[in-house]
Structure 1
Amino acid sequence: MSVADSVEFVPEPWFSTGRFARAALVAVPGILFGGGLVARIAGSTEANPWYQSLTLPALQPPGPLFGIAWAILYTLLGLALAMVWGTREAKGKRLAIALFAVGLAINLTWSPVFFKLHMISAALGIIIAMLVVALATAWAFFRVNRLAGWLLLPYLGWLCFATGLNVSILMLNPMADAMQIGI
């Protein structure tokens, strides 16, 4: 028996290589920039006249809080992605990254549908799809890297809260929904 045969293989942790740092340098700013750009283009600001005309639920946070919350959430999403991306030879890694990509693509459609197209009910369908894919992504991330999975939990919580806000806005403003009034 050689020394190599008696040594148990222990995979390197995600943080012990430069892979995590390289992945984080791409993922975090990319997700922050992409999310912020889509929100800005969609007019998801306090200056949006259509949004200002809506009756908002009592639990609606002030506008600046959304920007802060999303910056934190996108940072956590980027770090979680970098952890999974930087994990070598992990079973389920490709599925986890694919689910993340699908979820991010769905996420980036919500703001234009809600703020630009004024389709509150369609936006509700999108956010429910986001929640389902985010749950699957968190499960897949947990299987690859536990910490990465934990980092998605605030995002899941926020999506639950945002889904409630979307439902409330739809109920309070049925005639503002472009899908309901046939625009």
Structure 2
Amino acid sequence: MESATNQQQATPFWQSALGLLGWIILCFTAAGVGSSFTVPQIETWYAELNKPSFNPPNWIFGPVWSTLYLMMAFAVWLVWKKAGWTNAPHSLGMWCFQLLLNTTWSVIFFGLENPVMAAFEIVVLWISILITIVAFWRHDRFAASLMVPYLLWVSFATVLNISIAALN
């Protein structure tokens, strides 16, 4: 733990700021890839699906996801800044894995037009987010807490996904 503290104190501001920018770029690159599969389907295939009464309006997803991606980027940056890849390879690796699963869900649900397979995948995503939160807790409790709204939103999305799969 002492080496992580020394690493944090020795990191220049510009390097820390570039690190944060890198994590933000990674998050929003993943978001962009997911959106490239999602957006073209909103007015066509997705519009034709039967949806439950609690399905939010389409406009809500953009602001919610943008906020969540910023929180995710800040959370991973805190762990990276505090512990680095050397002291937190599992935590940072889990975060990267859940981000990959996040993007993959859009490919499956919207790109492949497969709500059933997406329902299975989103459960794996939910588990990986929970594991990431637990792993982050060991390094930075605030970082872990920043991931909780994401877990809650994916919990809602899981119920929504399963409902859409059942209705179609």
TM-score range, shorter chain: 0.7 to 0.9
1:135 aligns with 2:137: no
Question: What are the within-5 Å matches in structure 2 for residues 59-74 of structure 1?
Answer: 59-74=54-69
Q: Which residue of 1 aligns with 2:80?
A: 85
Where 1:60 maps in the other structure, the secondary structure is coil
Question: Residues 89 and 60 (structure 1 numbering): CA distance in 2 closer, same or farther, change over 3 Å?
Answer: closer
Shift of 1:112: 1.3
Note the alpha carbon deviations across 1:115-170, whole angstroms, 9 max, x for none.
12111111001100000000000000110111110100000000100000001101
Q: Which residue of 1 aligns with 2:160?
A: 165
Q: Which residue of 1 aligns with 2:30?
A: 34
Shift of 1:57: 1.1
Q: Which residue of 2 aligns with 1:22?
A: 18
Question: Residues 153 and 45 (structure 1 numbering): CA distance in 2 closer, same or farther, change over 3 Å?
Answer: farther
Q: Which residue of 2 aligns with 1:56?
A: 51
* Contact 1:20–1:85, Cα closer than 8 Å, also in 2: no
The answer for unaligned runs of 5 or more in structure 1 is 1-7, 174-183
* Contact 1:92–1:144, Cα closer than 8 Å, also in 2: no
The answer for unaligned runs of 5 or more in structure 2 is none
Shift of 1:111: 0.7
Structure 2 distance, partners of 1:101, 1:170, is 27
Ranked by relative contact order (alpha carbons within 8 Å, sequence separation 6 or more), the top structure is: 2
Question: Residues 99 and 90 (structure 1 numbering): CA distance in 2 closer, same or farther, change over 3 Å?
Answer: closer
Give % identity. 30
* Contact 2:24–2:73, Cα closer than 8 Å, also in 1: yes
Structure 1 distance, partners of 2:3, 2:97, is 33
| Structure with a larger share of its residues in helix | 2
Question: Residues 16 and 149 (structure 1 numbering): CA distance in 2 closer, same or farther, change over 3 Å?
Answer: farther
* Contact 1:90–1:144, Cα closer than 8 Å, also in 2: no
Question: What are the within-5 Å matches in structure 2 for residues 149-160 of structure 1?
Answer: 149-160=144-155
- Off by >6 Å, runs of 4+ in structure 1: none
